[in-house]
Structure 1
Amino acid sequence: MSSSNNVLISGKHITKVFGYGNHKTTAVNDVSFDLHEGEIVSIVGESGSGKTTLAKMIMGLLKETSGTIEYKGKPRQLRNHAARKKYWKDIQAIFQDPFSSFNLFYKVEKLLMDCIKLQGLKLPREEQVQKMKDACSFVNLKYEELFNKYPFELSGGQMQRLMIARIFMLHPKVLIADEPTSMVDACSRSTILDMLMKLRQENNMTIIFITHDVGLSYYVSDTIYIMEKGKIVESGIAEEVILNPQHKYTKQLIEDVPKIHSEWNLA
């Protein structure tokens, strides 16, 4: 898997502290990274390692306590709603629980229509419907069967696919995928990964997987960052990190998945 040398997002000495005084918790501690255009990166760690907090800072949903995050070589401008909206055109996320990502009172048609609005596209009704049909078809869903339904009427797998359909419509430069396959069965899991890989190929999209799953990260990534207690303890080319781990925490994560080769048919 190749990635170009263009650094799209870089973090310099990022720290995030929650709370005050004696109740302070440092969730992310002096973390630096470079994410390249078209690269697939996994940030791997157990629950509480700080990986989701880091993802939310990259997404612009949480403000870093110190350090800077640059986008396309410049510090991000997220001061007001218009600036954030512009940033979110380029940077999107799908989360572990798809139901928390959608307004449950909006029908599927409105959820997809909002993607067209976010892009500022003024299209005739016919073209709008065609765009929504194409997006559903990309994730093997039938628009005609879904457009009139509410999110709670769909299965978890359908919801995850709908989230990917939104990404298909929005064409972001960066997708943050936070444990996107942890709530679906093995069959849906590989389908969702295949769809994400296809999106990456078609749009040269940078994908950041946030995961505790070492097997997944080995299978899909160009680069891996291992996080423990808020710090990046090891990083590098995926194969090198997994097949020749240097840090004891990385070794421990890999020991918890003894059949990494056979599980992903990589032997």
Structure 2
Amino acid sequence: MSRIATRFAALKEQGRGALVTFLEGYDPDPATSMAILHGLPGAGADVIEIGVPFTDPMADGPSIQKGGLRALKSGATLAGVLAMVRDFRKEDSATPIVLMGYYNPVLSYGVDRFCTDAAASGVDGLIIVDVPPEEADEVEPQAKANGLDLIRLVAPTTDDARLPRVLAATSGFVYYVSITGITGTRSASTADLAAAVPRLRPHTDLPICIGFGIRTPEQAAEAARLADGAVVGTALVDTLAASLDEQGHAKPDTVRKVLDQVRALAEAVHGVRKAA
């Protein structure tokens, strides 16, 4: 099995949900970003999403946009993010890593070359926000050939007619976008989530993780209770940003503050006991 499937199977056997963390690669600089990446599994992250910085991140809210700009100013490239994954794999061969980003950098890199290099670097899955299932031929054959999961976003606006098609084109896990709109701008109600997740279950056996608007340990725990995991990104990016000095440089406690927040989120998520 892939690392993603293996991790979710282990969590299911343990009766607990997953904490999926997101941060932009190279934010605010390569060394700090790498230090956080190395620390995430020990802090309780079950799956790690690394954002590939892009100049036009249409699905992302202001916080992640600013994080991407900091990363680009510090020299972020797709090749550089792949190098981060390779360095991470020297110490961790088990934690799943998903790259989340947009198609333009992948197209510029070359789709065949990218999928080959991503797999060789230790990447397990891809979330390419602006490649819908209808255009999957752009990347799906190459991803499958290299053992990369293609994780799809399902939104509240995904209707019943389109839902089976989206889920049939998904592997790894399903990323349920809990709100309509961009990341980190608001949170969905428990009632909305409680109604949404059962709508997905008949169409897929894959784990379902809830993201977009999960900010607090309490919200993360509720998402893990209703689904199979919680994705937290903007809240971590905000913590990182608040820790920087006036010039946007990391302080000595930047890494610790981000990892402490991950520990609090993980404690909440992992404290939710799920039915077998």
Structure with a larger share of its residues in helix? 2
Q: TM-score, normalised by structure 1?
A: 0.34
Point out the structure with max Rg over C-alpha.
1
Q: TM-score, normalised by structure 2?
A: 0.33
